[in-house]
Amino acid sequence: MSKPSIYQPPYTITPAIVNLVAEIGETIGRYTVLAEQNLTPRLRRENRIRTIQASLAIENNTLTLEQVTAVIEGKRVLGHPREIQEVRNAFATYEAMEDLDASVEEDLLAAHELLMRGLVDETGRYRSGGVGIFRGEQLVHMAPPADRVPKLMADLLNWLKNTNEHPLVASCIFHYEFEFIHPFADGNGRMGRLWQTLILRNWKPLLAYLPVETVIRDRQEDYYRVLAVADSQADATPFVEFMLGSLRDAVREAVSTDHVGDQVTDQVAALIRAIGSGELGSNDLMQALGLSHRPTFRNNYLNPAMEDEWIERTQPDSPRSPTQRYRLTGKGHRWLQHHADE
């Protein structure tokens, strides 16, 4: 039995944090109900792939969502071998999430070993040397000395195990403190985001499939800015407020349509927009989407859109007709109208 934690991360529960927690809690209630009804295994997998692509993109991985999907499906992809390995490792680690305990050090180290296997020498163990965080040529954070890392991480994990803070708040505080300690030689950013997702999953299992990382990727400069602000103030509060805002927006996006099942992948969304109010054949659609690989077009764009009834054939009785065209269904038109300003 672990001792009650005497370590206390520096933060303040502000009115903004209280309001965000209440707002997220209310929206998550709706998300949970809709997700249990409509979050199909295929959509869960697609959300996970979006999460992985976004988290790696923050770390300068250049593979597109289409390429990441192909790697995970075991297809050959033209890309840098390291970036392909990063995708494979990340998918394996996220898939192992249900067997991990967020407050257990052995699980943290095992996750890092899986996430960084074949990428760095020091995997599954804390760093042995000093490390600084740079933005361009500028040093924005010098992490604590390596000999302090085991004690700092033991204190942080013990705090997580015993804290009475709301899981939403605790996940954000842990994320910040983890990045401040920077316990590993490499992979700290993706590990911090993974561990926050794990903490949230332990609270609400369906949050394992909420692609929060896509919101962070779109606000990457703000993400690093608030980390620096929190660091300069020796206070996690600015980062907690930022992350809660990102969580709120991710949940809002997930329930912005009538059903969670009405979420679409980036590929299907692009296909819907390409068709618009017209009728297009497969060759015209591939050209509009900038695609040259027909299996990729069919597997990632056309077939998912057909299966979820976003589009339909103009000649349903002759699916292989050379004059076959595709158009939006009523459902597809409604989605397009709802997202017209994006």
Choose among 320, 135, 166: nearest CA to 228. 135
| Separation of alpha carbons 15 and 29, rounded Å | 21
Say which CATH number the domain at 110 has: 1.10.3290.10
Q: What are phi and psi of 255, to 5 degrees?
A: -115, 20
Q: Do 271 and 161 have their domain in common?
A: no
Q: Do 82 and 171 have their domain in common?
A: yes
Which of 201, 228, 260 is the C-terminal boundary of a domain?
260
Half-sphere exposure of 39 (CA within 13 A, CB side): 21
What pLDDT does 319 receive? 85
Which of 238, 260, 282 is the C-terminal boundary of a domain?
260
Q: Do 39 and 153 have their domain in common?
A: yes
What is the token pair recorded at 60?
A: 């300068």
Would 4 be classed as within a structural domain? no
Could you tell me the residue range of the domain that residue 65 belongs to? 15-260
What pLDDT does 3 receive? 45
Would 3 be classed as within a structural domain? no
Sequential pLDDT tens for the chain (342 residues): 344 446 788 899 999 999 999 999 988 888 777 777 666 677 788 888 989 999 999 888 999 988 999 999 999 888 999 999 999 999 999 999 989 999 999 999 999 999 999 999 889 999 998 887 766 677 667 789 999 999 999 999 999 999 999 999 999 999 999 999 999 999 999 999 999 999 999 998 888 888 788 888 888 889 888 988 998 888 999 999 999 999 998 888 777 644 444 567 888 999 999 999 899 999 999 999 998 888 889 988 999 898 888 999 999 888 889 999 999 988 888 788 777 665
What is the token pair recorded at 95?
A: 């898939």
Beta bridge partners of 280: 326
Q: Is 183 helix (H, G, I), strand (E, B) or coil?
A: coil
Q: Do 144 and 86 have their domain in common?
A: yes
